[in-house]
Structure 1
Amino acid sequence: MFDPLKSNVKGIRRSVIMLGVLLVLFIALLLLQFAVTRSLMRIAQEKNALLSGLFDVRGSALYENGRQMMEQTDHDNDARRRALKDFFTRYDSPLLPYVDTIIEVSDREGIHYGLLPAIAMVESGVCKKIPKDSYNCWGWGIYSSKVTRFSSYGEAIDTVARGLKRDYINNGMTSPAEIMRSYNPSNHNNWAENVQHFLDYF
């Protein structure tokens, strides 16, 4: 005999079991998704760390050496800049605004940064006594009635530095005494000794 009550109980029991199975499957899927997500995140972090090690060299020996070299260069430039500024200020020279130009041009030509100021001091009192509108503080190309003129102190600095490198230093004349033999062969006013004296200032 069919018993509707028993049938309903069985149906409910079956539904509960199905719901339980579905719930377990749902929870299992959530746990699997969580595990996969964590795994992907860990892989991404490891990849980022690897890329950081490859491309971000901060803290590496190469970076530290490069940074120290840059700091040393900045320190050297600052020291040279101070020395030139003090020198030109002491003698009230119009070359004071050209401190950076002198350093840059001297580095480019491979000459001591104090050579141009030292020669300018001996030749013209660092530009105090020069032919009018010549900007020629170095006696460069000045002899008899001939006067070499420049359009600015900047042009003069560039030309004289290149000339010293080309005509003197490249030919083995590196000290004031050696440069003097061609630059000022008569050694007028103890040219070599005085240039060396002011060169020693730097």
Structure 2
Amino acid sequence: MKQILIVSGWLVGMSLTLFVSILSLNTLTRTQELPALILSQLTTGTDTNKLLTVSNFSGAVKGISTAVQTGDARPILIAQFLEENNSPLSPYDYWGDYLVYVADKYNLDYRLLPAIAMQESTLCKFIPPDSHNCLGLGVHSQGTWEFPSYEANFDKAAEILRTNYLDEGLITPEEIQDKYTPLSQGSWQKAVSKFMYQLETAEF
């Protein structure tokens, strides 16, 4: 009888151990599959607003998961920044893609152009009529630079920032300010830095 009880107890213990092992393996497998699912959704047009709320993975930054960043969240962040501030630049998805394209073309921080545009014109809301000049280029008492399109304005601004600023060692908003708008007394760089931080963290 004693041997029967020992064998029965051993069988029950082994069954419980096997059950717990199977349950743990299933949970681990589902966890590993989730980042791949998010990337799949990112590339197939699934609701990106939902993707930006994911923050359960190691390395997540203010609601943007590492998995989403791997799929390049920059256009999404810019598009949401434009939408949150009711920018006339629409459709927002197009401008998110375009501003990232221009930033990569001239090797700029993707946040710089939208941050400057936010400071100079509230993302193109307040500009000289028909100028398409969202970044304050050549705006002075003697006249204002005009561009045939917003795209032309951002492309020219990116070219100027690369050749006349970054290539000369003026990289941070504080360094750029001294040449871009020297009379601002620090307010410009503080605002641009704030908007760049918002774009990085999605704290709009």
TM-score range for the pair, normalised by the shorter chain length: 0.5 to 0.7
Q: Does 2:165 match 1:171?
A: no
Post-superposition Cα deviations, 1:141-183, rounded to whole Å, max 9, x if no partner, equal 1111310000001111110001100100000000000000010
Decide which of 131, 142, 146 is 1:145's aligned counterpart: 142
Residue 114 to residue 78, structure 1, CA distance change in 2 (3 Å): same
Instruction: Name 2:101's counterpart in structure 1.
Output: 104
Segments of structure 2 that go 5 or more residues without pairing to the other structure are 1-42, 44-65, 200-204
- Work out the number of aligned pairs and report it: 132
Q: CA deviation at 1:73?
A: 11
1:135 corresponds to: 132
Q: 1:99 to 1:181 in 2, by over 3 A?
A: same
Normalized against structure 2, the TM-score is what?
0.60
Indicate which of 82, 91, 96 corresponds to 2:85: 91
Looking at structure 2, the residues matched to 188 and 77 of structure 1 have their Cα atoms a distance apart, in angstroms, of 39
What amino acid sits opposite 1:79 in the alignment? A
Q: CA deviation at 1:75?
A: 4.6
- Identify which of 127, 147, 159 aligns with 2:156: 159
Partner residue in 2 for 1:181: 178
Letter in 1 for 2:86: D
Structure with the largest fraction of helix: 1
- Is 2:189 the partner of 1:195? no
For 1:80 and 1:130, locate their aligned partners in 2 and report how far apart those are by CA, in whole Å.
25
Q: Is the 8 A contact 1:106 1:161 kept in 2?
A: yes
Counterpart of 1:119 (choices 113, 116, 119) is 116
Which segments of structure 1 move beyond 2 Å, counting only runs of 4 or more? 71-78, 94-97
Identity %: 36
How well do the aligned residues superpose, as a CA RMSD in angstroms?
A: 2.1
Q: Residue 178 of structure 1: SS of its match in structure 2?
A: helix
Answer whether contact 2:130 2:146 (CA < 8 A) is retained.
yes
Q: Answer with 1 or 2: which has the greater Rg.
A: 1
Give yes or no for contact 1:127–1:136 (8 Å, CA) kept in 2: yes
Pairs within 5 Å for 1:60-71 = none
Asked whether the 8 Å contact 1:98–1:154 carries over to 2, the reply is no
2:81 matched to 1:81?
no
